[in-house]
Chains A and B, each alone.
Chain A
């Protein structure tokens, strides 16, 4: 059996490949890893089994500096978004084989619409799944407390939006103070999901309770935002019992995380403004209540004063009427007393008159004036004439005078 040297074999393989892959071709794959060295990008492309993480194909690829310049000229900065770990890409490449370095794909062009499309497909799938599992509205159903004080902040301290957020909050015109626990995470790239999920789990299991969880980061491209289309993050948010407020810097596009959270705002600054205005609104309500209590109190005092005056008037008139009544009773009593006394007086008068008449009748003077006389013997009145004896000396009395006589 004939044997070949390794070089001969590889040279043969190279010729076979060169013969069969004369023209470059478009392939679809996922970037597992990308490294850059002096303008040249080295990629590891893979393909996974559908609905699984099992890698069924893998190949190394390279974008030479010259090709990269060409693509960048065509796509602009989007290229750096696409060339990231985890990106789904459609690339135009030449199949290359080198006797020493082996098989590799030399990338000449990139179709960005494929990457966008894949992201959108993934996004739609995640949304459908969340919908199906009833997770879409859970966090939205949580009430944001009237006053927000304790904030769990998920962000990157290196991100521009983070500083904006802190400054905006610190410089609030009302002087509100917030307790902010920062969970430093990657806000772009492949670690967004892992870091964010870990942070949420940490927050949920922490002893400290929070009023809200805020996820903020500065602006980014559409591709940049794709990390927040994560099912895992969205599920964590849905199952967390703290309301989430999101400000991950976007103008038009809305991530899945935005959609499952209690409140979605455009920028970190907008989130800071919300925290301040939300509290200011509550303070306003409290102030209004305070004012109303004051007004109410004054009204009540007025009412009480009024009823007091009314009462005083009533007491006055009641006293006056009682007094009048008593005066009337007294008047009646006085009249009765007098009348009764007069009646008694009249009775006495009548009695006295009767006594007067009797006295007149028995008055000896008046009897004598009518011509009667009476006899006395030795100064003693004689009422029985048969008691008189012959020779008895008697005196006969009339009104004015008397004469002595002798019984014959």
Chain B
């Protein structure tokens, strides 16, 4: 379910928003940990997406 509704674009946007909040220094420590965790999750998901996409493309090229 999660994979099907996954949107790379939305994930990146969310990630950028998290980074902006963190860089502004207005995040409280408790939230920070949560946000960093969420950010890392998003990075992993996006990387996973990129990897499967690349595989698809290379398959197409073969």
* Cα of A363 to Cα of B32 in the assembled complex, Å: 7
Taking CB atoms and an 8 Å cut-off, the chain B residues in 10-62 that contact chain A are: 12, 15, 19, 22-23, 28-30, 32-33, 36, 39-40, 43, 46-47, 50, 53-54, 57-58, 60-61
- A198-233 interface (Cβ within 8 A of B): none
Query: Once the chains bind, are B36 and A364 in contact (CB under 8 Å)?
Result: yes
Chain A interface size, under 10 / 10 to 19 / 20 to 34 / 35 or more: 20 to 34
Complex contact A352–B47 (CB within 8 A): yes
Of A338, A345, A362, chain B has the most CB atoms within 10 Å of the CB of: A362
A15 CB-CB contact with B under 8 Å:
no
Q: Is A291 interfacial (CB 8 A cutoff)? A: no
Given contacts A362-B22, A380-B28, contact A338 B60 (CB under 8 A): yes
CA distance A363 to B37 in the complex (A): 8
Is A358 a contact partner of B29 (Cβ separation < 8 A)?
A: no
Distance of B50 from chain A, by nearest CB (Å): 5
Q: Which residues of A contact B47 (CB under 8 A)?
A: 349, 352
| Cα–Cα distance between A189 and B57 once the two chains are bound (Å) | 122
Residues of A within 8 A of B33 (CB): 363-365
Q: Within the complex, what minimum Cβ distance (angstroms) separates A361 from chain B?
A: 9
List chain A residues, Cβ under 8 A from B28.
380-381
Q: Does A334 touch B at the CB level, under 8 Å?
A: yes
The chain A residue sitting closest to B8, CB to CB, is: A348
Closest chain A CB from B37 CB (angstroms): 8
Residues on B with beta carbons closer than 8 Å to the beta carbon of A397: 29
Q: Name which residue of chain A comes closest to B47, CB basis.
A: A352
Q: Is A342 an interface residue (CB 8 A)?
A: yes
- Interface: A376 (CB within 8 A): yes
Q: Which residue of A lies closest to B49 (CB)?
A: A348
> Inside 8 A of A356's CB, which chain B residues have their CB?
40, 43
Given the known inter-chain contacts A338-B60, A359-B39, please indicate yes or no for A364 contacting B50, CB distance below 8 A: no
**Chain B neighbourhood of A348, CB < 8 A:** 12, 46, 50
Q: How far is the CA of A349 from the CA of B51 in the complex (A)?
A: 9
Chain B residues closer than 8 Å to A349, beta-carbon distance: 47, 50
Instruction: Tell me the A300-358 residues at the B interface (CB within 8 Å).
Output: 334-335, 338, 341-342, 345, 348-349, 352, 355-356, 358
Q: Which residue of B lies closest to A358 (CB)?
A: B19
A-chain residues with CB within 8 Å of residue B30 when the two chains form the complex: 379
Per the bound structure, the CA–CA distance linking A38 and B46 in Å amounts to 155
Chain A residues within an 8 Å CB radius of B57: 338, 341-342, 345
The residue of chain B having its C-beta at the shortest distance from the C-beta of A383 within the complex is B25
Which residues in chain A, 254-304, are within 8 Å of chain B measured between CB atoms?
A: none
**Contact status of A338 and B39, CB under 8 A, knowing A364-B32, A374-B29:** no
Query: In angstroms, how far is the closest chain B Cβ from the Cβ of A380?
Result: 7
A366, closest chain B residue (CB) = B36
A54 CA to B17 CA, complexed, in Å = 153
Interface pair A352/B32, CB less than 8 Å apart? no
**Additional A-B contact list (11), CB under 8 Å, known A334-B61, A345-B50, A356-B40:** A334-B60, A335-B61, A349-B47, A352-B43, A355-B39, A355-B43, A359-B22, A359-B36, A359-B39, A363-B33, A364-B33
Cβ contacts A to B, 21 pairs, < 8 Å? A338-B58, A338-B60, A342-B54, A342-B57, A345-B50, A345-B53, A348-B12, A348-B50, A349-B47, A352-B46, A355-B19, A356-B43, A358-B19, A358-B22, A359-B36, A362-B32, A362-B36, A364-B29, A364-B33, A364-B36, A365-B33
